[in-house]
Structure 1
Amino acid sequence: MSETAVTATTTFRERLYVTWWIWPLPLLAAALLAAEVHMGFPGVRSWLPYVVLLPLTVFLIIRMGSTTVEVSGGELRVGEAHIPLEMLGEVEVIGPDRRRAAMGRELDPAAFVMHRGWIKPMVRVRVTDPEDPTPYWIVSTRRPEQLAAALKSGVTKG
């Protein structure tokens, strides 16, 4: 059996991760929980909660707090979700000043939302597929102009 490799060009890729100022609170909570367990068990078991809870907290922050936004191979990929670029329409950059309205009174409940509270700018992309009940995707990004440009160039090519 032979396989043919298809190389997909990536026009935009961004890894969204938890910013440094969010880390202290969960780590402090894990340390306090470990200290409570430490006080109840003497000997070797007293240090075990620190060895388990602190690395586990770091792992969960990294795993649950990171998402990839990518325009590649004719698709917009946000985490596990993806949609072909030819099914996308108008692209709108939402600045930090309009974020509250976009995520509040203007938000359609059927929209696909990937929102990270510590990332202020967002991009809203209309879905033009009549079969899709999702009216638009709204995605947090640190580089909204670059994402919008990659989406617009992909939409016009497709």
Structure 2
Amino acid sequence: MHIYEERLSVPRSWWALVALGGAGLALAGIPFGAIAAVTAAAVGMAVAAGIVYAHGRVRILVTPGSLVVGGRKIPIEALGATEILDEREAFEWRTVRANPYAMLLLRSYIPTALRIELRNSYGGAPYLYLSTRQPMNLAAVLAFSRG
């Protein structure tokens, strides 16, 4: 059972770029014949679509007793205080204020984030930085899960 679930899917414009890349590869393949042009477009678009899909399928899940971030399961007991970051603060925390030991889930196309302190430096990380479109909802769900 999931208490909270968010998929960090890529913007629709990225899919348009995949199509444009395929069209560009088709144009590049025209001098070698129609079959080469179609093959180049199909292969290029398939590779690009796979990369875009994989990048956008990361999920943030809150289940009873744990936070699952990109496949990594963190017990709720290991989570400390949360800080909702607006666009400016999120930029600072992922650049100049970033800790090299922190656990980061960065998505450049999501401007807001949530920073969560980790108790006892869980996994050697002082905090968890999550790009999220709904930082207030995620913070509320985590507060509720902690009881």
**Is the pair's TM-score, using the shorter chain for normalization, greater than 0.5?**
yes
TM-score bracket, shorter-length normalisation:
0.7 to 0.9
Segments of 5+ residues of structure 1 without an aligned counterpart are: 1-8
Instruction: Tell which structure's C-alpha radius of gyration is larger.
Output: 1
What is the root-mean-square deviation in Å for CA atoms of aligned residues? Answer: 1.9
Alpha-carbon contact 2:26-2:40 (below 8 Å) kept: yes
Range with greater deviation from structure 2 (16-25 or 92-101): 16-25
CA distance in 2, matches of 1:96, 1:38: 44
Superposition deviation, residue 81 in structure 1: 1.5
- Residues 76 and 140 (structure 1), Cα distance of their counterparts in 2 relative to 1, 3 Å cut: same
| Number of residue pairs the alignment of both structures matches | 147
Query: What residue identity is the alignment partner of 2:8?
Result: L
Superposition deviation, residue 54 in structure 1: 2.0
Partner in structure 2 of residue 10 of structure 1: 2
Partner in structure 1 of residue 83 of structure 2: 92
The structure 1 segments of at least 4 consecutive aligned residues displaced by more than 6 Å after TM superposition are none
Partner in structure 2 of residue 144 of structure 1: 135
CA distance in 2, matches of 1:149, 1:64: 26
- % identity of equivalent residues: 26
Q: Which has the higher helix share?
A: 2
CA distance in 2, matches of 1:139, 1:26: 26
Compute the TM-score of the two structures, normalised by the length of structure 1: 0.82
Alpha-carbon contact 2:3-2:141 (below 8 Å) kept: yes
Segments of 5+ residues of structure 2 without an aligned counterpart are: none
Alpha-carbon contact 2:21-2:45 (below 8 Å) kept: no
CA distance in 2, matches of 1:21, 1:153: 35
